[in-house]
Chain A
Amino acid sequence: MTTTTHHPGAIESPERRHFFGWLTGGALAVYAASTAALSFLFLRPRVTYGPPTRVPIGKPEAFASGNQVVFPEAKLVVRRQDSRFAAISTVCTHLGCIVNPSDTGFDCPCHGSTYDDRGQVTGGPAPRGLAWYRIVQLPNGELVVDKHDVVEADTFLELRA
């Protein structure tokens, strides 16, 4: 071994040097990763400013049986047949354009997807049918459509009396 000059406070043993090197590197790596993760969390929105996902649509009495009411801002239609209510999305499942109600169902003006009355795809590039949303009735009688709760087609809210 070559002679080593002694410096006060100098780390002499290579193992200790490696250890502290790894420690520093590890700590910095963890710091870097954490910073990245925290930045990611910062950027990920926790509240959004767009239209609400739980859409109040009014009292059941406001809907006539056999009719379809369009809610343009909420991008859905609400139907009533006697005591059954349904809410269907009007956002085309292809690329998000708004579909127009038609005689036979719905038509999308962007790429020509067509849907039947129940929102099932009858033509065009849409990969799946229009989403049906769950409707719930609040204690005060109002109906609310929950756009985050997608249900199977033909799922209705049945109101008793």
Chain B
Amino acid sequence: MKTQKLILPVAALLVLVILGVTVARSTVEDWRKYQEQYAELSMAKGGAAGALQPIEVKQDRLLGFGDDRIDRCRSCHVAVDDPRFVDGKEPLKTHPSIAPHTFNLLGCTVCHEGDGRATTADLAHGKDKFWVEPLLTGQFIEASCARCHPAPYPAEAKHLRRGRELFEHNPCVGCHLVQGLSRGTLGIELTDVGLKRDVEFFRKKLTKPLFDVASTVMPRLKLSEQDKDDLATFLKSLKGRVLAEDPMSYRARLKAFDNAQPPEVEVAVEIGKKEVESRGCVMCHRLGDKDGERAPDLSFLGQIREPAYVEAHLAEPRQHAPDSIMPAFWMSPSERKAVAAYLTSLQGFVKPATPAEQYKLMCIRCHGEKGDGNGPVAESLLPRPRVFTNARFFNWLPDQRAYNAIRNGVPGTAMPAFGRILGDEDAKAMFAWIRATFAPQKEPIPPRTVPDRNPVAYGPDSVQRGRRIFQERCYGCHGRIGNGKGPNAPEMLPRPRNLTNHNFFTPLPDTRLFESITYGVVGTGMPPWDVFPDDQRWDLVNYVRSLSSSGPAASERRK
């Protein structure tokens, strides 16, 4: 019992000590310290007014002003509207003039964000990783101007204005949807992205879109640091409906925007040029001396594409290449005609003499300097540019196919027809050079026997049989809906073929499909499927026809 007699008073004293620690930690608060300092300094600077204020948690209450806010920032930042503290040390420092705004009316977090209800520096400044509105500093504070001052923003908000300009006059508006501002559907909706993400996220995303996701269609853009800062400022200001607009005007504005029609213009080359310049096509394409390095070279487009093609492409790029990431811009038919007229007027390309030089000027951008399919533009294209160093592929590829590809292009992909620049002999010479440089033919190809026509008639039964086989054996790479995005696809290069690619499959005969299924495509992940009997393979061919609405299935094509 003796130990017990001792331990009880010790425990009681321990509890008392802990109580003391609790009290100490809870009552020694930074804001008291700062308010006391302020009182002292205020007295020293002459003026007893500051010293008469009680030491307490100071609140600015914003009620009836959008969402209710209570800001306690001035418990530490006591001196923000005391002009004597211009040279003070934070937090006792005068705030730069924000007239006619006043702290009593606005508080602090309306502009600076952060956690207004907190009373410690770390939490108030939003350093808690769970606080969704970290403190804005420097130019990013301008993002908050948009809360009350709708576009066009005040002149003082320079970075915000520039950010918006960058957004509006670049392809951002083509991919992203911002209610009342843009109509894109390829990318994520950004109408209220400022509520969901912070400035740091925007900068990282603009630098490297893949930093937080496994796959994205957003290209890595060439932006200067200032560009990224300004865009981040603008994006942070996107909060859906802000205080500046009441619900009715907001709805009216959005409705007007949705119902608007793109303006009709004169179909002239100069107009087309202006359009191109104001839409920032060079963010991705190459034109003149500007190059975004993410999309094909348009400098000599008139020599490789027809105006009708360009017009159609501007209306909906995916009708030509289903996996294109080019946005469909909001343009009127006449605008498209004007742009097509301008771009197809560009025919200044002079073909150099040797295949090596021709390759450098026409092919490197996609196929890469080393012929490895890794040109600067390659990561934006799907299907990716052919890899010339893929020896196994080029070993079996018949030369005629390559000539056709060079002269006529490969429909359904980004490979254009170079036939007007390279004649028959040039194409042969080019391919010979490619073979010699990157893909010498090494091994003899075993002979292939391919029937000369499809014995199985196209019809619902054959398609059904083909579907069953496909969903068991093929979907892993080609995907459940045959678009080449099956579970295995991300690990394969080249990617599995998109079997719904109407333009690609239309010119191909059934026998070519049969050949690919039977012998596989050597040099790619497509293995030979001769394990199936012939008629099953023809059923698969018919199923692919129905997937791509090509050949006998062309009449089923829905636009």
Contacts and interface: CB of A to CB of B under 8 A. Distances in A.
Chains A and B come from one and the same complex? yes
B486 A81 contact: no
Q: Is the interface of B mostly helix, strand, loop or mixed?
A: loop
A105 B215 contact: no
A104 B490 CA distance: 12
A67 B185 contact: yes
B487 interface: yes
A149 interface: no
Interface residues of B, number: 10
Interface in B545-559: 558-559
A103 B483 CA distance: 10
Contacts of B421: none
Nearest to B481: A117
A103 B215 CA distance: 10
A117 B485 CA distance: 11
A158 interface: no
A104 B185 contact: no
Nearest to A67: B185
B558 A81 contact: yes
B479 interface: yes
B215 A104 contact: no
A104 B558 contact: no
A67 B185 CA distance: 9
A116 interface: yes
Nearest to B475: A116
A82 interface: yes
A99 to B, nearest CB: 16
Given A67-B185, A103-B215, A104-B487, A116 B558 contact: no
Interface-central residue, B480, B487, B558, B559, by most chain A CB under 10 Å: B480
B325 to A, nearest CB: 13
Interface string A75-99: 0000001100000000000000000
B485 A116 contact: no
A82 B486 CA distance: 25
A105 B185 contact: no
Nearest to A104: B485
Contacts of A116: 480
Nearest to A120: B480
A82 B557 CA distance: 12
A82 B558 contact: yes
Contact of A103 (B185, B485, B558, B559): B485
Contacts of B485: 103-104
Interface string B161-183: 00000000000000000000000
Contacts of B486: 104
Contacts of A67: 185
Contacts of A64: 185
A66 to B, nearest CB: 8
Contacts of B479: 104
B246 to A, nearest CB: 21
Interface-central residue, A64, A81, A117, by most chain B CB under 10 Å: A117
Interface string B468-499: 00000000000111000111000000000000
A105 B558 contact: no
Contacts of B558: 65, 81-82
Nearest to A117: B481
Interface-central residue, A67, A103, A117, by most chain B CB under 10 Å: A103
Contact of A117 (B480, B487, B559): B480
A13 to B, nearest CB: 66
Contacts of A103: 215, 485
Contacts of B487: 104, 122
Interface in B185-230: 185, 215
A67 B487 CA distance: 22
Contacts of B480: 104-105, 116-117, 122
Interface in B445-487: 479-481, 485-487
Contacts of A104: 479-480, 485-487
Interface-central residue, A81, A104, A116, by most chain B CB under 10 Å: A104
A67 B559 CA distance: 12
A103 B185 CA distance: 14
Nearest to B215: A103
B202 to A, nearest CB: 20
B78 to A, nearest CB: 43
Interface string A95-120: 00000000111000000000011000
A15 to B, nearest CB: 65
Contacts of B559: 65
13 contacts: A64-B185, A65-B559, A67-B185, A81-B558, A82-B558, A103-B215, A104-B479, A104-B480, A104-B486, A105-B480, A117-B480, A117-B481, A122-B487
**Shortest 8 CB-CB contacts between residues of A and residues of B:** A103-B485, A116-B480, A104-B485, A117-B481, A82-B558, A104-B479, A117-B480, A104-B480
Given A104-B485, A104-B487, A105-B480, 14 more contacts: A64-B185, A65-B558, A65-B559, A67-B185, A81-B558, A82-B558, A103-B485, A104-B479, A104-B486, A116-B480, A117-B480, A117-B481, A122-B480, A122-B487
